[in-house]
Structure 1
Amino acid sequence: MTPEFAILGHPNEGKSSVLSTLAEDDSVRVSPTPGETTECRTFPVVIDGREVVRFTDTPGFQNPARVLSELRKRGEQNSDPLQSFRQFAATVPELHDDCELLSPVERGAGIIYVVDGSRPVRNVDRAEMEILRLTGKPRMAVINCKEDDNTYLDDWKVEFRKNFNANRVFNAHRATYAERILLLEALKAIDQDWQPVLSRVVDAFKKDWKERNATSSDAIYQLISEALTLTVRQSTDTRQGGEAIQQKLFAAYKKQLAEKEHHCHQKIRSLFKHNIFNYDLPPHSIVHADLFSQQTWQLMGLTRKQLILAGGLGGAALGAGLEVATLGHALGLFTAMGGVAGALGALIGGEKLTSRINLPGVSLGGEQLQIGPAKSIELLFVLLNRALLYYRHTINWAHGRRDYPANNEVAPSGGEHLGFTSNWSTAKIKICHDFFKVLQKSRITASAAENENFRTLILQCLEEISEYAG
């Protein structure tokens, strides 16, 4: 039997947001207007083709005092007061919503009662809690803290202890994966008979999350492998100057890299079931910045200490040479970036580059100009850090959320490093170095050991982010 939980509460307390976040379903209608939900709607959670749990959205209580009075009266006369109340309420139009919200409870659903913790407890809330207590069904209370206001938190907890098997504080707009799992774990305490089936539900959630992380790490690995081996070529044209050719070639290279990065990010977004609403990073996010901007490489690349370390390992160039000067002069980019200029410039290679290659503005003839494959390991770290940042944003964007605060994730001033790799140990840097070095040689894929080590490193990063990041 698939366990079902009905999400109940007063209108506009965040019931739909809690459901949307728990079920990871962004199709749940979330509205600030009270009374928008008038009919129950069930949202199944399907893992590996099997429904493991279902959550049912319900209308808000409309007449709790009257419902409580009727239930008390019928509790003294009937063995099933819910059924008796439904039969009575079916003929009373103003009790439609109250009758509807109790229908999943009547068929055996567990109860998740949601309140807005930023306001005081009222008599109408006590009436609703007493109604749910009289149902005799396993029940949990959830304090949906919409704001960072804990003034009334203790008052709510006191009331909940009188009427519920368990209670949790849960912000449906900011809940991380770890917090969702903790709430599901807490549901096991509401009734001993439910523990075995809910344990299987939690295990299924955890297994599914691991599989999604593994698929995400594969997507990031593929992005980095393809990006580092990407090559774009163009035959020179005597009618065009060197500057025009290099601009066109570099634009094509950047476009292909951007497409690969976008494809990876969208795959991650889909894996974590953000399918309807366009949950995107804020406009000022570093992930929106040009992949080859100075800010991107400063904040997402290697730190100064790591640059020295990577250079000392050998075999993973940080870049210098004729191509650096040519690109910098031709495009007017990275001319004042020091070490980053070398790292970017090392991306540029060439076939049959001889003295016939002239300075920008002078015609080239009879040769083929090439950009890529990447000679700088810094590109690996820039792409990796941007992918990890996108992953963190995606998994921590609760499905019940419908807005994004404008002041979130503002790029710091003063060059503070934003990369997840900024505090990496020498051993982790070496794993990346070894992978990059072998990839350079084969230009297709890394050998088994370097490949597996790098894949494992990415997966470890994702697991750490999903467990600890908020």
Structure 2
Amino acid sequence: MTKRSDIPVFAVLGHPNEGKSSVVATLAENDAVPVSPTPGETRQCRDYPVFIDDAEVIRFVDTPGFQNPRAAHKWITQNADPEKPWLDDFIRAHETDAEFVHECRLFTPLAAGAGVIFVVDGTRPVRTADRLEMDILRLTGAPRMAVINTKDREHGDYIEDWKTAARIHFNIIRIFDAQRASFAERMDLLKSLRAIDPDWDEALQRVTEAFETDWHMRLEQTAAIITDLLASVLQYRAKKTIHDASATEAAEKQLVVKYRQQVADMEKKAHHRIKKRFKHNIFSYDLPAQSLAGQDLFSEKTLKALGLTRNQMAWAGAGIGAGLGAKGDLALAGLTFGVFTALGGALGAGSAAWGTRKISRAKIKGQALGGIRIYAGPVKNDQLLYVIIDRSLIYFWHVINWAHSRRERPETGNDSDAGVSNFLSAKWSREQKKISQRFFKEVRQKGTAAGQQAVREFSAMIRDLLKEISRT
């Protein structure tokens, strides 16, 4: 057996279709790992290194399932000396034998010094072939852990039987749902690996510390993304110049629609950046239909969820308010976005959720000099900002709880926003609301020293919320 490298390597083994590839994808946070319900889909060993700050810290090897454990076990017990390494002997004896193609391939990383993560399906009973596979791995002498993949326990629960069978053959046994594992659960499993071999304790401690440091950095970056999103919305203004006064009303409607589209696009891009921070790169991540963050920001469904009346939804849906005030401001008196906040209250007269206003230039012979300039924004309704914050927190919660092995949303299961509801702005303390109000105020004023401090305080508050959310 080859001496192990300084980088911990773990071969993920098991019977076909037990969830080996799902465990690899989730532990490595790699949605490029092929995951398929078809048995025997993995035919070659595939390496999946994990990099942090461009340095490889750990590697997982996805392996084919055992092909002929009964015959392999017979050869090992009859020909191998249990006191000496025998993996290389087995590979040399059978490398051209079609009966043991998969065994030769999955033994190769073990012969090179890899540890074992043996994955079994806890929803089915233990079979004779399973006991033979576990005994083969015991005979390798490799450091090993058994992972009982819970998959879909509605279709069977044999976890206790598996635990009893695995205790004979493995140093450590862990229960793990590769389809739904949180960051904390992934870290617990990685920390458990430290106990399977004292020679790897120091290296695996560095791995877990690197993962935790990287996770905290992602939370910092996500807080910065949300803070930047709010600052952009607070300062965004859409404008248009027209030269025909009779076209003002139509232009105002178009401008408000443009404003709403731009704000929604800012939010969408920010959410995409959050998704990328957590290594969801290939497969589309669609929020569940019932999630508030999965709706269009200004859609009727979102507005209804936020507690607007039918008339208020009609105004918002048309992209224009009840009418223009004396100064040309778009008046949406009474329109509130505050179902998630404790702020409440209607908009004051002369204010606007995304206020449009006209500025007429001096006229020469009845024509406006330079035309009529109309504006939409910046947003004056702080409650809309709280909604954007809440939707970002909801999106974050769903992203970090979407394991990289999941390829589609199951038809059943609890994928609502309930898990994050206690962290939304309606539940914030008075101090948290003060911090956010200072941030809104100072960003609107732009560029002051107090504004920079307000931004830092707000970003730190959001980061702390993200930490709390990620622990749930």
Shorter-chain TM-score bucket reads 0.7 to 0.9
Would the aligned equivalents of 1:301 and 1:381 in 2 still touch at CA under 8 Å? no
Q: 2:291 aligns with which of 282, 285, 295?
A: 285
Task: Give, in whole Å, the separation in 2 of the partners of 1:418 and 1:326.
Answer: 38
SS in 2 for 1:275: coil
TM-score, normalised with respect to structure 2: 0.85
* Residue 138 (structure 1) aligns with: 143
- Structure 2 gaps, min length 5: 1-5, 309-319, 339-345
1:35-434 paired onto structure 2 within 5 Å: 35-76=40-81, 79-149=84-154, 151-238=157-244, 240-293=246-299, 295-296=301-302, 299=305, 325-326=322-323, 342=347, 345-350=352-357, 352=359, 366-406=371-411, 408-409=414-415, 420-434=424-438
Q: Does 1:447 align with 2:451?
A: yes
- Structure 1 gaps, min length 5: 303-322, 357-362
Task: Give, in whole Å, the separation in 1 of the partners of 2:73 and 2:421.
Answer: 58
What is the aligned-residue RMSD (CA, Å)? 3.0
Task: Give, in whole Å, the separation in 1 of the partners of 2:275 and 2:286.
Answer: 9
The change in CA–CA distance for 1:430 and 1:172 in structure 2 (over 3 A counts) is same
Task: Give, in whole Å, the separation in 2 of the partners of 1:47 and 1:339.
Answer: 41
Task: Give, in whole Å, the separation in 1 of the partners of 2:236 and 2:29.
Answer: 36
Would the aligned equivalents of 1:246 and 1:327 in 2 still touch at CA under 8 Å? no
SS in 1 for 2:283: coil
Q: CA deviation at 1:269?
A: 1.2
Q: 1:18 aligns with which of 11, 14, 23?
A: 23
Task: Give, in whole Å, the separation in 1 of the partners of 2:355 and 2:470.
Answer: 37
* Residue 316 (structure 2) aligns with: none
* Residue 359 (structure 1) aligns with: none
* Residue 317 (structure 2) aligns with: none
Would the aligned equivalents of 2:423 and 2:469 in 1 still touch at CA under 8 Å? no
The change in CA–CA distance for 1:156 and 1:339 in structure 2 (over 3 A counts) is closer
Task: Give, in whole Å, the separation in 2 of the partners of 1:385 and 1:50.
Answer: 35
Task: Give, in whole Å, the separation in 1 of the partners of 2:307 and 2:108.
Answer: 56
Q: CA deviation at 1:410?
A: 5.4
Task: Give, in whole Å, the separation in 2 of the partners of 1:327 and 1:128.
Answer: 77
Higher relative contact order (CA 8 A, sep 6+): 1
Deviation per CA, 1:95-122, whole angstroms, max 9, x where unpaired? 1011111111111000000000001111
Q: CA deviation at 1:379?
A: 2.1
Would the aligned equivalents of 1:3 and 1:53 in 2 still touch at CA under 8 Å? yes
Q: CA deviation at 1:296?
A: 3.0
SS in 2 for 1:277: coil
Task: Give, in whole Å, the separation in 2 of the partners of 1:231 and 1:301.
Answer: 26
* Residue 306 (structure 1) aligns with: none
Would the aligned equivalents of 1:21 and 1:398 in 2 still touch at CA under 8 Å? yes
Deviation per CA, 1:336-363, whole angstroms, max 9, x where unpaired? 8567673893320425479x9xxxxxx9
SS in 2 for 1:342: coil
The change in CA–CA distance for 1:57 and 1:339 in structure 2 (over 3 A counts) is closer
Task: Give, in whole Å, the separation in 2 of the partners of 1:242 and 1:56.
Answer: 65
Q: CA deviation at 1:225?
A: 0.2
Which amino acid is the alignment partner of residue 386 of structure 1? R
Would the aligned equivalents of 1:38 and 1:59 in 2 still touch at CA under 8 Å? yes
Would the aligned equivalents of 2:145 and 2:193 in 1 still touch at CA under 8 Å? yes
Q: CA deviation at 1:71?
A: 1.2
Which amino acid is the alignment partner of residue 228 of structure 2? Q
* Residue 310 (structure 1) aligns with: none
Aligned residues: 435
Task: Give, in whole Å, the separation in 2 of the partners of 1:274 and 1:177.
Answer: 14
